[in-house]
Amino acid sequence: MPVDTANIASGAELTDLTGRLTDFVAGLSYADLPAAVLTSAKLFTLECIGHMVAGLRQPVGQLVAGYVGDMGAKAEASVLGAGFQTTVAEAAYARVALHCPLSPLALAASLQLDACLPNFLVQEHNEVNDWREGGHTYSGRGYLKEPFVLDADGCVAEPQGPGLGVELGLLPERGRDLVLAGAIISILVNPIVFAAVDRLVPRPPGGDGVTERAGVPGSSDAARGAGRGGHLILVGYGGVGRSVARGLRERGETFVVIEDADDLVETAQADGMPLVVGHAATPHILAAADVTLARKLLIAIPNVFESGQIVEHARAASPSLTIVARADSVAEAEHLAGLGADVIVERRAEIARGLLAHAGAEGRRGMPPPAPD
């Protein structure tokens, strides 16, 4: 990537500084590091691991863990804290979107990195250094000998030349060797660190990493004993889910609740509800609730994306299952119906029905209309 060094102050000084920093790092030993630096590094490492493990307990984290756990193929990449491995291809499934660089040189460096990433998604870009000429948008005037040209879609050609460090001579050969050595050490150490974390850090409840079968009456035997009538599965124990669960209990129905939010799990356990802890959009959580033997699946959560995932997995596991889903709009209802839900309870339609039912009712304010005979 040709760079105009005229506007880069003291290029020789930068090269000398980089060389001195490289020599300093190469000659550095563990004993040379101050205690405060070591403590900060350890805390930062533990905080990073903690964030990764804690993320697995979140709904999105469990959804991703369940997804990569179902892919099969050769397991070579550890899913930190989940207790299983997935393929390298699935581990690279997460896409990379680099943050906005605030200078043309930072943008050039970012684009070099983007070109090397197989899972690159998009590069954020600040237009403060752009200019327009002849119907085209350029970036890097005064810094880059060949400024980037943005096309009508905001894309630039993939860089073909060497990176800035090589182009400017800022990274000496010894520095490149250190970078390569660090990468090799990281590759060798990562499996050991992941294995240690899996042994030392408690996993989410349950043997498979995300599942806990807490209080399900008779486990799967109860569902099998129900025969063709089967049991009901209720997804979600929020405000709507709690009302449904209490109604089912009053009617004497056999059912199990699926919930993953910690506070709602505690509430369900305190209420004595039969419970499977985990994200219902993962097949093994549905299997823990014996979805193939269930009579109906009731989805009471408000997130239509998650509801859609649940509908798809449940339908695949049990084609004859009756799926009843909650929707907060007509568009959501159409989306869920398109994925295979049999019955959609749409919020506005139900409110309208309730108001109409009360419109002709007599009696005290706030009292429901009399039940039909």
For residue range 227-269, list pLDDT tens digits in order. Answer: 345 899 999 998 899 999 999 999 999 999 999 888 899 999 9
**CA distance linking residue 188 with residue 322, whole number of Å:** 50
Nearest to 80 by CA among 195, 212, 206: 195
Domain membership of residue 219 as a residue range:
212-359
CB 286 within 8 A of CB 280: yes
38 lies in the same domain as 184: yes
126 lies in the same domain as 46: yes
12 lies in the same domain as 105: yes
Quickly count: other Cβ atoms within 10 Å of residue 174's Cβ. Answer: 12
What is the CATH classification number for the domain harbouring 336? 3.40.50.720
pLDDT at 225: 39
Domain-ending residue, one of 172, 200, 228: 200
CB-based burial, 200-232: b 16+ in 10 Å, e otherwise: eeebbebebbbbbbbebeeeeebbeebeeebbb
**Which token pair is 148?**
């980037």
Q: Highest-confidence range of 20-29, 108-117, 253-262, by mean pLDDT? A: 253-262
For residue range 324-333, list pLDDT tens digits in order. Answer: 999 888 888 8
In order, the DSSP letters of 252-294 are: T--EEEEE--HHHHHHHHHTT--EEES-TTSHHHHHHTTGGG-
Give the model's confidence band at 185: pLDDT under 50 very low, under 70 low, under 90 confident, else very high.
confident
In a domain, 372, yes or no: no
Task: Report how many domains make up the chain.
Answer: 2
Rg (CA), the chain: 29
Pairing verdict, β 296-299 and 275-277 = unpaired
77 lies in the same domain as 171: yes
Nearest to 49 by CA among 86, 78, 20: 78
Nearest to 275 by CA among 174, 206, 198: 206
Domain-ending residue, one of 176, 200, 224: 200
188 lies in the same domain as 255: no
196 lies in the same domain as 216: no
In a domain, 365, yes or no: no
258 lies in the same domain as 135: no
In a domain, 371, yes or no: no
**CA distance linking residue 160 with residue 149, whole number of Å:** 14
Rounded to the nearest 10 degrees, what angle do helices 330-339 and 304-317 cross at? 20
In a domain, 229, yes or no: yes
Report the pLDDT averaged over residues 171-181: 74
Name the pTM for this structure: 0.43
188 lies in the same domain as 262: no
16 lies in the same domain as 164: yes
293 lies in the same domain as 320: yes
